[in-house]
Chain A
C-alpha cells in the first residue's frame, strides 16, 4: 500500500507550499501580549453602573403612572358620557339600573 502511494508522497514533497511571512510571529506575539493584559479592575463602588438602572426603573414607574392615570381618566369620562347620553335619550333610569346605581 505504501509503495502504491509513493507517487502522492513524492508529489507533496516536491510541492512547495509558501512559507508564512517573517513578521507573522511578531504579529502573533503582539496579539498574545495584548490578549494577556488583565482587564481593568472594576471600581469598588460602581455607582456609574447603578444609576442608569435606577433611571430605567424610574422611567418605567413614570410611564406606568401616566398609563394608569390616562386609563382611569378615560373610564371616568366614558361613563360620564354614557350617562349624559342616557339622560338625553330618556333612558336614564334604565342606564342607572344596568350600571347598578
Chain B
C-alpha cells in the first residue's frame, strides 16, 4: 500500500496536466489563484503593476518547475506565495523613489507631494498603515487575512516555524493598530 500524500492540495487535480505543459491547466490555476496572489503582492509592494510583474514571474517559475513537482511536499498556492514573497522582498530592497508604491515608509519626509497624492489615491487607510510596517509583518498579516492560508502554510510560505509565525503575527497586529491610531490622530 502506498503512503498517503503528506499534504492534500486543492489544486492537485491540475498537477498532472501542468507537468505535461497543458496551457488549459495553467489557465485554470490562474483563474483560481491569480487574484489572491496579486492581492498578497500588492499588500507587500503597494503598487499594482509591480504586483502583476511578480505574479507573472511566480506563475512562470511554477510552469517551469511543474514537470519535476513532487506532490505532497507543499501546496501549489503555498509554494506560489513563497516565491512571490521572496520576489517582493527583492524588489523592496531595490528601493526606487520614482515609484510611490515602492516607498518603504510613507511617513518619510523625503517623498514628494506628487508621490504622496498618487499614493493616497491608490492606498486606503489599511494599505497606508500596512506600508509603514516591516515587510515581514506585512506578509504575515496578508497571508493570514487576505489569502487566509492555514497558519502552517503561511509559516511554510515565510520559511519560518509555526510558533515564529504566530509571534510575528502578534507583533504585526500590534504594529498595525499603532499605525492606524496614528493615522486617525493625524486625520
A17: Cβ under 8 A from any B Cβ: yes
A25-B43 contact in complex given A19-B38, A35-B64, C-beta closer than 8 Å: no
Q: Which of B8-45 contact A (CB under 8 A)?
A: 21, 23, 26-27, 30-31, 34-35, 38-39, 42-43
Q: Which of A1-45 contact B (CB under 8 A)?
A: 5, 8-9, 11-21, 24-25, 27-29, 31-33, 35-36
User: When the two chains form their complex, are residues A15 and B55 in contact, meaning their CB atoms are under 8 A apart?
Assistant: no
User: When the two chains form their complex, are residues A28 and B30 in contact, meaning their CB atoms are under 8 A apart?
Assistant: yes
Q: List B contacts of A17 (CB < 8 A).
A: 38-39, 42-43, 127, 146
* Partner among B60, B125, B180 whose Cβ is within 8 Å of the Cβ of A32: B60
A31-B42 contact in complex given A11-B126, A12-B126, A15-B124, C-beta closer than 8 Å: no
**Count: A-B pairs, CB below 8 Å:** 71
* Partner among A8, A18, A21, A35 whose Cβ is within 8 Å of the Cβ of B173: A8
User: When the two chains form their complex, are residues B60 and A31 in contact, meaning their CB atoms are under 8 A apart?
Assistant: yes
User: When the two chains form their complex, are residues B63 and A25 in contact, meaning their CB atoms are under 8 A apart?
Assistant: no
Give me the interface of B with A, judged by CB distance under 8 Å. 21, 23, 26-27, 30-31, 34-35, 38-39, 42-43, 48, 51-52, 55-56, 59-60, 63-64, 122, 124-127, 141, 145-146, 173, 176-177, 180
**Per DSSP, are chain B's interface residues mostly helix, strand or loop, or mixed?**
helix
Complex-state Cα separation, A18 to B121, whole angstroms: 12
User: When the two chains form their complex, are residues A12 and B145 in contact, meaning their CB atoms are under 8 A apart?
Assistant: yes
Residue of A9, A18, A19, A36 with highest tally of chain B CB at under 10 A? A18
Q: Which residue of B lies closest to A32 (CB)?
A: B63
